[in-house]
Structure 1
Amino acid sequence: MAFTVPRDILFLCLFFHSTALSMGNWNTRDFQRREHSLVKPYQGAGVGVPQWDFLGSTMVTNSYIRLTPDRQSKAGAIWNNVQCFIQNWELHVQFKVHGSGKNLFGDGFAIWYTKHRMESGSIFGNSDPFTGLGIFLDTYSNHNGPHNHNHPYISAMINNGSLRYDHDTDGTHTQIAGCEAQFRNRDYDTYVAIRYENNKLTVSTDIENKSGWKECFSVENVKLPVGYYFGVSAATGDLADNHDVISVKFYDLDGPDADKNVPYTGLPEASTMEAPRDRIDDSKGSYLLGNMTGWKLFVIIILLIIGLGVCVMVGVMVFQKQQENSRKRFY
């Protein structure tokens, strides 16, 4: 007597089989590595967090890791203490930047893949210069220099250790790409994804609570060596914000069975860089001082001549008045 499998059970088995195959294919291509990830609950053995070290004003809670409070002149960082030897990877950072400031706030935070770790400094709480990759999420609203974008702003910088970050131009003279991203004071958590695959750097965001990535920028011909460290740092100055990290998730894009090319071990480099912008210390005076050529220079010269003429006329009138008063004293 032949045994007949019910149609519903057959369809169910086929569904689970196809799902398992698809999940298996996905896992061999893109899977999370715990040694470079940071997720809740944060506390491990004792009071530390396995594979991560903390610096500065960083505070660990049950719900988030606060790099800086909404107070002036604070700096904090978290650093993975395991070197990354994976060539192609993707990093997801779940974060929240919020504070009481309505019009003025700052400074922002940065995500790092660098040769050195746990070094305090002037670039969002990290050392300057650095060697590696820096992704800057800059919220400083009263920015300096002639910009064609608003803040908050996300930008990337590749440094071989010889460049310095210029705060007076918000780093625009050394960035390789950037985009506007209004991630501050959202009622929900926000995300940024950094993908490095086949010498291509892509940064995407989810700041609109849509559970989907929106590309911020993509740059070809970027070389990042293996053996560097991941970190996140933040800083406040005269202006402040809470800079919170909720999770850091690292994904290996190579997979355990992928063909491995010879890993790159040279200095970080990028074949393209945005055109440098002139350094200007006072953005309010940039209209007159930003370009001292052409008709602007002519107007300034005319104004100086008029001002000088007025001063001479006033001086002559004062001198004549003094002479007249002195003559009256002799009569």
Structure 2
Amino acid sequence: MAYPTPREIIILCIFFCILNIAMGEWNTRDFQRREHSLVKPYQGSGMNVPQWDFLGSTMVTNSYIRLTPDRQSKAGAIWNNVPCFIQNWELHVQFKVHGGGKTLFGDGFAIWYSKNRMESGSIFGSVDPFTGLGIFLDTYSNHNGPHNHNHPYISAMVNNGSLMYDHDTDGTLTQISGCEAQFRNRDYDTYIAIRYENNKLTVSTDIDNKSGWKECFAVEGIKLPVGYYFGVSAATGDLADNHDVISVKFYDLDGDDADKTAPYIGLPEASVMEAPRDRIDDSKGSYLLGSMTGWKLFVIIILLIIGIGVCVMVGVMVFQKQQENSRKRFY
């Protein structure tokens, strides 16, 4: 058997290296842009972080950026201060959500591509209503209203500034899609990828420590204008968690040889939206009734009336029996 010569081995290695690079470029077609990325070491000169601003309870450490500590009623955010004028892009966020709660924890965090930068509010620490795209990673275990999913839950909302996020239904009235994702209290790194290319939004996760992306959902017909800002915000309420951001990496999918069409500058649009679900107002205690509306509630009222009538009849019969026994003692 003839063995390859050292020269042939070197040529073979060079060939596989070139092939690997070519395949990698074919699979990703991306180029990382520093102006929209956030990686360690975070700090520049002094306490400043280049291209990023901070809001609320956010704390910068050597290993992570903590948006909220595991304490009640906290909110924090980080915002890129460079507007994005790239039409097709992909954003990778490495994060960690963890805390001492075993059965009760919350609220979660959001990843933004939004016109509204550095504005505090009620949607995971950011303003409501907003204009742009919001990806919500909701961990609130004692979730509101009737749902056909468990928590934690990832969902997306596209807003032109006219919609309000419905906290009573955890945003299910306005979401374009979503999926369950058990990313909380993992012992390893967790990631989410948000890809926007040719009016298609794809959200994928790597939360199973498999070093590969798993698609969460994909939605066609999404129009996002250029010139908005990327950000990440988080909030706690009566329940709490640590919400940590380890890195944000932005990839330009257009490339130098891309077909340069006119950038979209209108309002954000979504051609599809999931069917609305019944709203339950928890403040009035109707969460306990589940989805008992309309004829179901009518049937329950009828059954209650019948039950009360039976109780009255039984009470009358018992009373008459006692009266009869009382008269017999006098004979």
TM-score (normalised: structure 2): 0.88
Q: In the TM superposition, what whole-angstrom CA distance separates every residue of 1:263-318 from its partner, at most 9, and x where no partner exists? A: 00000010111111121123985574623334552232231353377579989x99
Residues 98-247 of structure 1: matches in 2 within 5 Å? 98-247=98-247
Question: Mind listing any 5+ residue stretches in structure 1 that lack a counterpart?
Answer: 319-331
Q: In the TM superposition, what whole-angstrom CA distance separates every residue of 1:145-194 from its partner, at most 9, and x where no partner exists? A: 11000000000000000000011100000000000000001111110000
Paired residue type of 1:87: Q
CA contact (8 A) 1:65 1:244 kept: yes
The corresponding residue for 1:300 is 301
Looking at structure 2, the residues matched to 20 and 155 of structure 1 have their Cα atoms a distance apart, in angstroms, of: 34
36 and 299 in structure 1: CA distance in 2 versus 1, 3 angstrom threshold: same
CA contact (8 A) 2:179 2:217 kept: yes
Range 260-269 or range 18-27, more displaced? 18-27
The corresponding residue for 1:90 is 90
Range 237-246 or range 249-258, more displaced? 249-258
How many residues end up aligned between the 2 structures?
313
Could you say what secondary structure the match of 2:47 adopts?
Answer: coil
Range 284-293 or range 51-60, more displaced? 284-293
The corresponding residue for 1:45 is 45
Q: In the TM superposition, what whole-angstrom CA distance separates every residue of 1:51-108 from its partner, at most 9, and x where no partner exists? A: 0000000000000000000000000000000000000000000000000001110000
Deviation at 1:19, TM superposition (A): 4.6
Looking at structure 1, the residues matched to 117 and 214 of structure 2 have their Cα atoms a distance apart, in angstroms, of: 30
302 and 193 in structure 1: CA distance in 2 versus 1, 3 angstrom threshold: same
Paired residue type of 2:233: S
Paired residue type of 1:207: I
TM-score (normalised: structure 1): 0.88
- Residue identity (%): 76
Question: Mind listing any 5+ residue stretches in structure 2 that lack a counterpart?
Answer: 320-331
Q: CA RMSD in A?
A: 2.5
CA contact (8 A) 1:288 1:296 kept: no
Could you say what secondary structure the match of 1:208 adopts?
Answer: coil
Deviation at 1:241, TM superposition (A): 0.2
CA contact (8 A) 2:222 2:270 kept: yes
Looking at structure 2, the residues matched to 312 and 270 of structure 1 have their Cα atoms a distance apart, in angstroms, of: 60
Range 236-245 or range 300-309, more displaced? 300-309
